[in-house]
Amino acid sequence: MKAALLYGPEDLRIEDVKTPVCKKEEVLIRVHGVGLCGSDIRTIIHGHHRLEYPQILGHEIAGEIVEIGEGVKGFSPGERVYVSPLVPCYECPACKRGWLGQCENLTVPGTTIPGGFAEYMIVTEDIIKKGQVIKMPHDMSYEEAVMTEPLSSVFSCQEYANVTLGDTVVVIGMGPIGCLQLELAKLRGAKRVIAVEPSRIRLEKAREFGADFIIDPFEVDPVKRVREITGGWGAEVVISANPSTKAQGQAIKMACKRGKVVFFGGVPKGEMTLIDSNFVHYEQITILGHFGYDHMQNARSFDLIADKKIKADRYVTHVLPLEDAMKGVEMAKSGEAIKVVLKP
């Protein structure tokens, strides 16, 4: 079968590899959609500390069941499924506290085991047994299903920050995550959502996802502009979904008294964010870090997409063959694409 293997930073190769054989407790799927995630892009460019090279990347996976191990029950060939990729160990201190997204020993297709950047993929026993293979309704496309993974993180983030009725929410960074943040915040009852993004194409796109105001931080001072829009008060929740330390520092200054600031996106290793700590002190700002999600948040995100409450198809601006994975990386980096989905 055809697969995209990462041999090291900036060394992604399309190769013919042996189609994996389905064991007794496993399922083999034909991958029909695999999302190119921001984390995949980072891994392709910089590598990943938990990755064993060469590895087949891809953790936002949807496909059709083609083979079922004799020990597996409840599935049939031909069924279309979404595979939720993060498998917690249920044994580490984080898992014992119920924080499955923070598991210290996560098994992840595309990182610790082969992922979906291939024509076929094995769905392992623990993924099946933990209920992480979800059957797709007939009117759900593979592209929509793939969006469950990024939405799960966003869903978890907004539960954590408790985005609620009447809030003003600022989102900095209009990648697929940022756009999902806008749409979900509106669903949770935010009265006003503000998008901050330097790429003009992405900024205009943000309006389609519900942005009431858009701010180009290279054109105007985004902190001042948020204060203007909110009559001087600031935003109840500010989400920094981008890799800039400067944006993180600005996010804090956009928050209202007792406001919450979420650092969602990772920043380049070793870089430090400059924080006005007096502002945090006097205004009683809460700074939250956020990463990951658990299987319940994943299941509910899947339902939001299946029920068309989140219109996932609008995020997928480009569907490319596996061979064009690097082209997809460039398109996502340049801001030309919102979400790229590969079709192996």
Residue 1 vs 92, nearer CB to Zn ion: 92
Residue 142 vs 213, nearer CB to Zn ion: 142
Minimum distance of Zn ion from residue 100's CB (angstroms): 7
Distances (CA, A) of 157 to 43, 188, 238, 316: 22, 12, 11, 21
Residue 267 vs 275, nearer CB to Zn ion: 267
Q: Which stretch binds Zn ion (CB under 5 A): 145-153, 200-208, 251-259, 329-337?
A: 145-153
Minimum distance of Zn ion from residue 340's CB (angstroms): 12
Q: Is 8 left (phi over 0), alpha (psi -120 to 50) or beta?
A: left
3-state DSSP call for residue 127? helix
Kindly write out the interface string for residues 146-165 of this chain, putting x where it contacts Zn ion by CB under 5 A and - elsewhere. Answer: ---x----------------
Among 92, 108, 275, 287, binds Zn ion (CB under 5 A): 92
DSSP letter assigned to residue 138: T
Q: Which stretch binds Zn ion (CB under 5 A): 99-107, 121-129, 195-203, 328-336?
A: 99-107
**Structure-block tokens of residue 113:** 């085991």
CA 217 to the chain's CA centroid? 23
Residue 103 vs 342, nearer CB to Zn ion: 103
Angle of helix 38-46 relative to helix 325-334, nearest 10 degrees, comes to: 110
Residue 226 vs 325, nearer CB to Zn ion: 325
Q: Which stretch binds Zn ion (CB under 5 A): 12-20, 37-45, 72-80, 329-337?
A: 37-45
Strand ordering across the sheet containing 55-56: 11-16, 2-8, 55-56
Kindly write out the interface string for residues 59-88 of this chain, putting x where it contacts Zn ion by CB under 5 A and - elsewhere. Answer: -----------------------------x
Residue 168 vs 181, nearer CB to Zn ion: 181
b/e 236-259 (16+ beta carbons within 10 angstroms → b): bbbbbbbbbbebbebbbbbbbeeb
Instruction: Tell me the C-alpha distance between 337 and 328, whole Å.
Output: 8
10 Å CB burial of residue 189 (0-12, 13-18, 19+) is: exposed
Minimum distance of Zn ion from residue 218's CB (angstroms): 27
Total binding residues toward Zn ion, as defined by CB under 5 A: 7
Interacting residues with Zn ion between 216 and 245 (CB under 5 A): none
Q: Which stretch binds Zn ion (CB under 5 A): 65-73, 143-151, 171-179, 301-309?
A: 143-151
Minimum distance of Zn ion from residue 177's CB (angstroms): 9
Instruction: Tell me the C-alpha distance between 90 and 107, whole Å.
Output: 11
Minimum distance of Zn ion from residue 178's CB (angstroms): 14
Minimum distance of Zn ion from residue 333's CB (angstroms): 16
Of 89, 29, 19, 100, the closest CA to residue 63 belongs to 29
Residue reference for tokens 């009559």: 231
Among 103, 123, 171, 184, binds Zn ion (CB under 5 A): 103
Minimum distance of Zn ion from residue 284's CB (angstroms): 33
State yes or no: residue 37 binds Zn ion (CB under 5 A). yes
State yes or no: residue 108 binds Zn ion (CB under 5 A). no
Residue 103 vs 170, nearer CB to Zn ion: 103
Q: Which stretch binds Zn ion (CB under 5 A): 21-29, 102-110, 118-126, 211-219?
A: 102-110
3-state DSSP call for residue 139? coil
Contact predicate 147/35, CB 8 Å:
yes
Of 344, 311, 303, the closest CA to residue 325 belongs to 344
Residue 124 vs 168, nearer CB to Zn ion: 124
b/e 138-167 (16+ beta carbons within 10 angstroms → b): eebbbbbbbbbbbbbbbbbbbebbebeeeb
Sites of contact with Zn ion (CB under 5 A): 37, 88-89, 92, 95, 103, 149
